[in-house]
Amino acid sequence: GAGVSQSPSNKVTEKGKDVELRCDPISGHTALYWYRQSLGQGLEFLIYFQGNSAPDKSGLPSDRFSAERTGGSVSTLTIQRTQQEDSAVYLCASSLVSIAGGGEQYFGPGTRLTVT
Protein backbone atom coordinates (compact mmCIF):
# COMPACT_ATOMS: atom_id res chain seq x y z
CA GLY A 1 0.00 0.00 0.00
CA ALA A 2 0.94 3.66 -0.24
CA GLY A 3 3.30 5.01 2.35
CA VAL A 4 3.42 8.43 3.97
CA SER A 5 3.66 11.16 1.37
CA GLN A 6 4.76 14.75 1.80
CA SER A 7 4.59 17.77 -0.44
CA PRO A 8 6.35 19.68 -1.69
CA SER A 9 9.59 17.71 -1.68
CA ASN A 10 11.57 20.93 -1.82
CA LYS A 11 10.59 24.48 -0.94
CA VAL A 12 12.66 27.62 -1.26
CA THR A 13 11.19 30.73 0.27
CA GLU A 14 12.28 34.21 1.17
CA LYS A 15 12.77 35.25 4.75
CA GLY A 16 9.53 36.60 6.17
CA LYS A 17 7.20 34.61 3.95
CA ASP A 18 4.76 31.99 5.22
CA VAL A 19 4.99 28.35 4.09
CA GLU A 20 2.69 25.35 4.30
CA LEU A 21 3.96 21.80 4.31
CA ARG A 22 1.60 18.90 3.71
CA CYS A 23 1.58 15.34 5.00
CA ASP A 24 -0.65 12.48 3.85
CA PRO A 25 -0.37 9.65 6.37
CA ILE A 26 -0.95 6.00 5.69
CA SER A 27 -4.68 5.33 5.46
CA GLY A 28 -6.11 4.24 8.80
CA HIS A 29 -3.20 5.47 10.88
CA THR A 30 -4.58 7.46 13.77
CA ALA A 31 -1.30 8.90 15.00
CA LEU A 32 0.66 11.54 13.10
CA TYR A 33 3.95 13.17 14.01
CA TRP A 34 6.01 16.05 12.69
CA TYR A 35 9.78 16.20 13.20
CA ARG A 36 12.46 18.64 12.07
CA GLN A 37 15.88 17.49 10.94
CA SER A 38 18.50 20.21 10.79
CA LEU A 39 21.95 19.74 9.28
CA GLY A 40 24.13 17.74 11.64
CA GLN A 41 21.32 17.32 14.14
CA GLY A 42 19.09 14.45 15.05
CA LEU A 43 15.38 14.61 14.59
CA GLU A 44 13.60 17.14 16.75
CA PHE A 45 10.00 16.40 17.72
CA LEU A 46 7.56 19.14 16.81
CA ILE A 47 3.96 17.99 17.26
CA TYR A 48 1.87 14.82 17.66
CA PHE A 49 -1.76 14.15 16.73
CA GLN A 50 -3.72 11.16 18.00
CA GLY A 51 -7.23 10.70 16.69
CA ASN A 52 -9.55 13.43 17.92
CA SER A 53 -7.49 14.22 21.01
CA ALA A 54 -5.87 17.58 21.54
CA PRO A 55 -2.45 17.56 19.85
CA ASP A 56 0.80 17.51 21.79
CA LYS A 57 2.41 20.77 20.69
CA SER A 58 5.24 20.68 23.21
CA GLY A 59 7.95 20.54 20.54
CA LEU A 60 6.94 23.56 18.48
CA PRO A 61 9.90 25.99 18.72
CA SER A 62 7.92 29.23 18.54
CA ASP A 63 4.45 30.60 17.98
CA ARG A 64 5.34 31.04 14.30
CA PHE A 65 4.84 27.29 13.95
CA SER A 66 1.41 25.70 13.87
CA ALA A 67 -0.12 22.52 12.56
CA GLU A 68 -3.53 21.11 11.97
CA ARG A 69 -4.96 17.79 10.98
CA THR A 70 -8.22 17.78 9.10
CA GLY A 71 -10.63 14.86 9.30
CA GLY A 72 -8.10 12.78 11.13
CA SER A 73 -6.06 12.38 7.98
CA VAL A 74 -4.07 15.02 6.11
CA SER A 75 -1.93 17.38 8.17
CA THR A 76 -0.50 20.78 7.34
CA LEU A 77 2.46 22.34 9.12
CA THR A 78 2.52 26.12 8.75
CA ILE A 79 5.50 28.33 9.44
CA GLN A 80 4.78 32.04 9.50
CA ARG A 81 7.32 34.78 8.89
CA THR A 82 10.04 32.27 8.07
CA GLN A 83 13.56 32.80 9.35
CA GLN A 84 16.82 31.37 8.03
CA GLU A 85 17.11 29.12 11.08
CA ASP A 86 13.90 27.41 9.94
CA SER A 87 15.84 25.85 7.05
CA ALA A 88 15.70 22.11 7.62
CA VAL A 89 14.08 18.90 6.44
CA TYR A 90 10.61 18.50 7.88
CA LEU A 91 9.61 14.88 8.32
CA CYS A 92 6.16 13.50 8.90
CA ALA A 93 5.42 10.06 10.32
CA SER A 94 2.28 8.10 11.06
CA SER A 95 1.52 5.01 13.08
CA LEU A 96 -1.41 2.68 13.63
CA VAL A 97 -0.53 2.02 17.24
CA SER A 98 1.03 4.48 19.64
CA ILE A 99 4.69 4.16 20.61
CA ALA A 100 3.58 3.26 24.12
CA GLY A 101 1.69 0.34 22.61
CA GLY A 102 4.76 -0.83 20.75
CA GLY A 103 3.74 0.70 17.46
CA GLU A 104 6.06 1.59 14.60
CA GLN A 105 6.33 5.02 13.04
CA TYR A 106 6.39 5.13 9.24
CA PHE A 107 8.19 8.16 7.88
CA GLY A 108 7.61 10.16 4.74
CA PRO A 109 10.49 11.34 2.52
CA GLY A 110 10.40 14.83 4.00
CA THR A 111 10.17 18.39 2.74
CA ARG A 112 13.46 20.24 2.42
CA LEU A 113 12.83 23.87 3.34
CA THR A 114 15.36 26.52 2.45
CA VAL A 115 14.84 30.06 3.65
CA THR A 116 16.92 32.64 1.77
- Residue 19 or 33: which CB sits closer to other proteins? 33
Let me know: does 78 contact 57? Beta carbons within 8 Å.
no
Let me know: does 47 contact 57? Beta carbons within 8 Å.
yes
Residue 13 Cβ vs other proteins, minimum distance, rounded to whole Å? 20
Q: Which of 60, 67, 93, 115 binds other proteins (CB under 8 A)?
A: 93
Number of residues lying near other proteins (CB under 8 A): 29
Which one-letter DSSP state was computed for residue 100? G
**If we measure between CA atoms, which residue out of 78, 87, 64, 63 comes closest to residue 23?**
78
Chain residues binding other proteins by CB under 8 A are: 3-4, 31, 33, 35, 40-45, 48, 50, 56, 58-59, 91, 93, 98-100, 102, 104-110
